Structure 1
Amino acid sequence: MTEHENEHERDTAESDGTGDRSSWRFFHATGAAPTGEPPALPPPPPWREFTGEPVQPAAPDDERAVHRRLGTHGSGPNLRDEDIDTVNAALLLRRPLLVTGPPGVGKSTLAYLIARELGLGRVLPWSIVSRTTLRDGLYEYDSIGRAQAIAAWRAGADPSPEAAADPAAPSPERAPSLGDFVTLGPLGTALLAYRRPRVLLIDELDKSDIDLPNDLLHVLENGSYDIPELVRSALPTADVFTDDPGGRAEIVGGRVACREFPVVVITSNGEREFPAAFRRRCLPLEMRAPSREQLISIVVSHLRRRPEGVDTLVDDFERRLRNGGTQSVDQLLNAVHLTTAGSFQADADGRKLIEMLLRDLAKGR
């Protein structure tokens, strides 16, 4: 068969659906970090292209947070082939993932799995409570601190040696900078202009006030927002704090705009429905409970060994799930670690303690 015929056969197989349908994937849910250069992401669709400026330095890493979530071997949530396809579609289309499922199945862990495998640096976690507002995720402005700093500056510099050694301390030569009192939140930091996207975890959005999902629509659609305090100041640029430890970023004209739309993982325990306009902008992914092999892999990854007796505990954990219980993988890890620590005795008192650790979370005790 000639090379031309081979190419024609491959094209035919792809067009009729008999070829390798997974060849378009660039995220494979392996949990392994890149060995060399991180994989290049495919270009976005034209309607999801952004041109934010100025370009920020690459995102910092946070291996300790990744290890806490994934363990040393990168064991992540139990994803089916269709789940992996959904993640890749969200990454390709630059759309948020709306991840649902029972507590403890690894919904928030998925963000760390994506960040590690694609080499996207530190995950920006935003935990939602009933009082959370959109501005909490975008930025914080310390107006009281700025007023106090201006008053101190007008009164003159502090003559103490400590103040002299502090470059941020008020002095006659340096008025307090407006940017020193602005701190970008997780969402605000994710929307800075990075060459590679940041990973933003919006955790438990269903716990929010009813207005927050609607408030997110404009930001998620446009990939930008204004900081009114900086806009009103008419400063051409401002150097502000970010959500990264010790991070700073230059803001031009009071406007933050992304260059690469962030990888947004939104988790929900299904406590309420979201508006149709919000769901239209997200790709849904419903996660299932880990398989037995996945549970053992998670234990080995976190404890760096396969403890004796782990199979019995995993079987007990699976039985509780099959009986309709609400359990979290964290409970299994705690039980395994406890029973393999020191001279723990699995007597009547020990068994009672294990029962407490593996209790049904839906029963409220």
Structure 2
Amino acid sequence: MPLNLFRGQGPVEPVTDLDERLPAIDRSALRSAGQYIADDGLRHAVDVAVYLGLPLLLTGEPGTGKTQLAWRVAAEFGLGEPLVFETKSSSVAQDLLYSFDAVRRFSLAQVKAGADEAERDRALDPRRFVRYQALGQAILLANDAATAQAWLPPGAPAPAAEGRRSLVLIDEIDKAPRDFPNDLLNEIDRRRFRVAELGDDYIAAPDAKAPIVLITSNSEKQLPDAFLRRCVFHHIEPPDDERLAQIAAARLPAYRGRPRLLGDAVAFFQSVREDALGLSKKPSTAELLNWLDVMVGAGARLDQALKAQQQTAADCLGALCKTVDDRVAVAERLAAWQGPQGRSAG
């Protein structure tokens, strides 16, 4: 493997030229919204959700592009960066809307105990201790400046005068406790919420500027029926050989023009995903892209077949396989690989 970046033995001689020794590979396309490729089914699902004003719930294997779709939709509709909420096992519905730093406010109250009343009121204005999260921020941004300003801390930058639409990504909602989706029903349905620490008033997003909401799930748990009824659903299937090659060529500039290595590597990737191999974790599209990427850095010849470069490919399998047993099985399949026509070999 010609990377030769890490020696791992002998006297420690600090590497001072690591940046120069790393392969000069342009990875910007891997993260570019402009290189995202949605199939017809996914395009129609986005259209339906936007038309109906309902959240789009996306399921599919990890690494199939569910999260990256948010950046493509936001870019194409001119909505700026997506507002992202990364769901945790401890998440509650309020976390998607706002957080309130009660501890900091209490501590400051002790410090300001001797201040005059006006100064103390300014310092302890509850709006100063509110931090709006993805959906709460999107609802605020949808309102005109005068309406939104009343909910923001004094001196905060004024939002757009007429309000604007945003895109909210609720990522991996199935990680949350079961009650989390049900507790969001009113906020998602009516696109409004209140900050209990500021009183009983609600702030709502005008229909004309309502946020677009994308929700991803890895299907680790069943979501409540009441929540599902309020969503447009789409399952992203693993791509076939042609779409994988198309995605790789778009995301990895070195593979544009569909060199021979790309076709062989895609065929091999699909073969190891077959149920007969019994992998505990089937590699995803994202892991295929990483494997293709590092093989270029390791000196693989794009114009040669995978079979002719098996050692280089095997040295890079850590990008494709994530357990010991899976790596052994895939390495054995690679050693027996005869090319796309030998897809069942091994």
User: TM-score, with normalisation over the residues of structure 2?
Assistant: 0.67
Shift of 1:364: 8.1
- 1:140 is aligned, of 99, 106, 111, to 99
Shift of 1:224: 0.4
Task: Describe the shift of the 1:352–1:192 C-alpha distance in structure 2 as closer, same or farther (beyond 3 A).
Answer: same
Q: Tell me which residue corresponds to 2:320.
A: 358
Q: Tell me which residue corresponds to 2:228.
A: 279
Task: Describe the shift of the 1:135–1:69 C-alpha distance in structure 2 as closer, same or farther (beyond 3 A).
Answer: farther
User: Which structure 1 segments of 5+ residues have no match?
Assistant: 1-66, 158-170, 233-252
Structure 2 residue identity aligned to 1:183: R
Shift of 1:141: 0.7
Q: Tell me which residue corresponds to 2:64.
A: 105
Structure 2 residue identity aligned to 1:291: D
Shift of 1:71: 3.8
Q: Tell me which residue corresponds to 1:184.
A: 132
User: Which structure 2 segments of 5+ residues have no match?
Assistant: 1-26, 143-162, 302-307, 328-346
- The alignment's C-alpha RMSD in Å is 3.2
Q: Is the helix fraction higher in 1 or 2?
A: 2
Matched, 1:89 2:48: yes
Q: Tell me which residue corresponds to 1:152.
A: 111
Structure 2 CA distance, aligned partners of 1:313 and 1:336? Answer: 8
Task: Describe the shift of the 1:228–1:363 C-alpha distance in structure 2 as closer, same or farther (beyond 3 A).
Answer: farther
Shift of 1:118: 1.1
Q: Tell me which residue corresponds to 1:18.
A: none
Structure 2 CA distance, aligned partners of 1:296 and 1:218? Answer: 43
Structure 1 CA distance, aligned partners of 2:293 and 2:104? Answer: 46
Q: Map of 1:1-365 to 2, 5 A cutoff?
A: 71-72=31-32, 74-80=34-40, 82-154=41-113, 175-194=123-142, 195-231=163-199, 255-259=202-206, 260-306=209-255, 309-323=261-275, 326-341=282-297, 343=299, 350-359=312-321
Structure 2 residue identity aligned to 1:153: K
SS in 2 for 1:266: strand
Q: Tell me which residue corresponds to 1:3.
A: none
Structure 1 CA distance, aligned partners of 2:48 and 2:248? Answer: 30
Structure 2 CA distance, aligned partners of 1:191 and 1:297? Answer: 37
Between Structure 1 and Structure 2, how many residues are aligned? 265
SS in 2 for 1:120: coil
Structure 2 residue identity aligned to 1:83: L
Structure 2 residue identity aligned to 1:111: A
Aligned residues of 1:78 and 1:288 also touching (Cα < 8 A): no
Shift of 1:133: 0.7
Structure 2 residue identity aligned to 1:355: L
Structure 1 residue identity aligned to 2:139: L
Deviations 1:152-188 (A, max 9, x none): 334569xxxxxxxxxxxxx789534322211011121
Structure 1 residue identity aligned to 2:216: T
Structure 2 residue identity aligned to 1:290: P
Task: Describe the shift of the 1:174–1:86 C-alpha distance in structure 2 as closer, same or farther (beyond 3 A).
Answer: closer
In percent, how many aligned pairs have the same letter? 30
Structure 1 CA distance, aligned partners of 2:87 and 2:29? Answer: 19
Deviations 1:10-51 (A, max 9, x none): xxxxxxxxxxxxxxxxxxxxxxxxxxxxxxxxxxxxxxxxxx
Shift of 1:91: 0.1
User: TM-score, with normalisation over the residues of structure 1?
Assistant: 0.64
Task: Describe the shift of the 1:187–1:363 C-alpha distance in structure 2 as closer, same or farther (beyond 3 A).
Answer: farther
Structure 2 CA distance, aligned partners of 1:258 and 1:179? Answer: 19
